[in-house]
Amino acid sequence: MQEEDFSLGGDHSRIPSREDWGDFAGDFDAADAFRNFFGKSNREMQPEFSKDALMRAQDLRFMPSRPFSYYIKGLADFVLFGSYSGDAPDIANSFISVVQDRADSAPWALASALNEVNDALDSIMSNSDRFCTHPEIYGDLTELAKQAKDKLPN
């Protein structure tokens, strides 16, 4: 999707419509994301993030820009307020990866969620005792979160 196809002036606070999802025929991953997210509010998605945050984060990777712009806010809220105890490093790593990937491929899709994304990345960086418990697996999540922040559009 090209930047000019994405209207930054649109309403990014509403649940994405079927039209916002576009044509994903033949794209199994986008179809799976649609099946898991379509018609649900970010509040309704919180229990889904809680059940399987890694898979729901993976779904975000394959969403078109408009649904992504809406649901990344829900994932950021989950990072900030979710109940995930021992899974904290997995959650942080998944969130950082999704943000970095989208910042590289379609940074404009993050524009309407900058506050939420920055807050979640700041939380990861300032709560290293909670999130950064397995550096041998994930590397330095504090540094990765900082790198993700540096990639965000202004």
Q: Is residue 22 part of a domain?
A: no
Q: What is the mean pLDDT of the segment spanning 113-130? A: 93
Residue 27's nearest CA partner among 54, 50, 1, 49 is 1
pLDDT value at position 85?
Answer: 65
Mean pLDDT of 4-26: 75
What is the CB neighbour count within 10 angstroms for residue 18? Answer: 9
> How many distinct structural domains can be found in the chain?
1
* Domain contains 28: no
For residue 31, being part of any structural domain is answered with: no
Residue 2 clears pLDDT 60, i.e. is over it: no
Mean pLDDT, the chain, integer: 89
The reported pTM is 0.89
Token duo for residue 46: 């919180």
What is the distance between the alpha carbons of residues 123 and 76, in angstroms, rounded to a whole number?
10
Q: Which amino acid does the sequence have at 142?
A: T
In angstroms, the CA 53 to CA 60 distance is: 11
Across 110-116, average pLDDT:
95
Does 24 reside within a domain? no
Note whether 14 and 67 are within 8 A (CB).
no
Give 49-70 pLDDT, tens digit per residue: 999 999 999 999 999 999 999 9
